Amino acid sequence: MEHVVLAAPGLLLRPWRVADAPDVLAALGDPEVATWNPQGDMDEARARDWVRRRADWSSGEHVSLAVADPGDAELLGSVSMHRIGGGNASVGYWTVPAARGRGVATGAVRRLTTWGFAALGLHRIELCHAVANVASCRVADRAGYLAEGTLRQSYRYGDGRRHDEHLHARLATDPG
């Protein structure tokens, strides 16, 4: 799959670069990110590997983009689509502390979702988050993902325990 660069109001979604590794290391070390996006112990070498894996779209099964400020290129977060296949995919994201509460995750998810339906021909995109992650529930709602139910003890998060998750989804036929 070819890399893309996507624009959204106040956001630039671009492929990851090895130069992003120090910012990724700092972001993944943030307790809020680490709680909901467990990566294990991270150092600069592992951060470079993390970036390289997300920059490699050759399998066609995932798309991962850095979310940056278009004015100064500051890293604001990450947005990705994974488990792409059969007309379906799942979306995930995180934001750095300074970007929270500004609509960054919502804008990035909306833009990647629109692209996924148009460019990849997807029919359904799912978004799951821990029930306790109230901010992610707001992102899902604001990005047009409808709540479908609760998945019991479906994912092991950063604290090592299994958590219930809320399942949200958007269909290509849903209003934007």
Tell me the pLDDT of the chain (176 aa) as tens digits.
889 999 999 999 999 999 999 999 998 888 888 778 777 678 899 999 999 999 999 999 999 999 999 999 999 999 999 999 999 999 999 999 999 999 999 999 999 999 999 999 999 999 999 999 999 999 999 999 999 999 999 988 777 889 999 999 999 999 87
- Residues 6 or more apart whose Cβ sits within 8 Å of residue 141: 147, 168
Under CATH, which number does the domain 6-171 receive? 3.40.630.30
Using the 8-state DSSP alphabet, how is residue 145 labeled?
A: P
Alpha-carbon distance of 162 to 157, in angstroms, equals: 7
Helix (H) or strand (E) holding 111: helix 104-120
Token digits of residue 61: 């099964």
- Residues 6 or more apart whose Cβ sits within 8 Å of residue 115: 4, 6
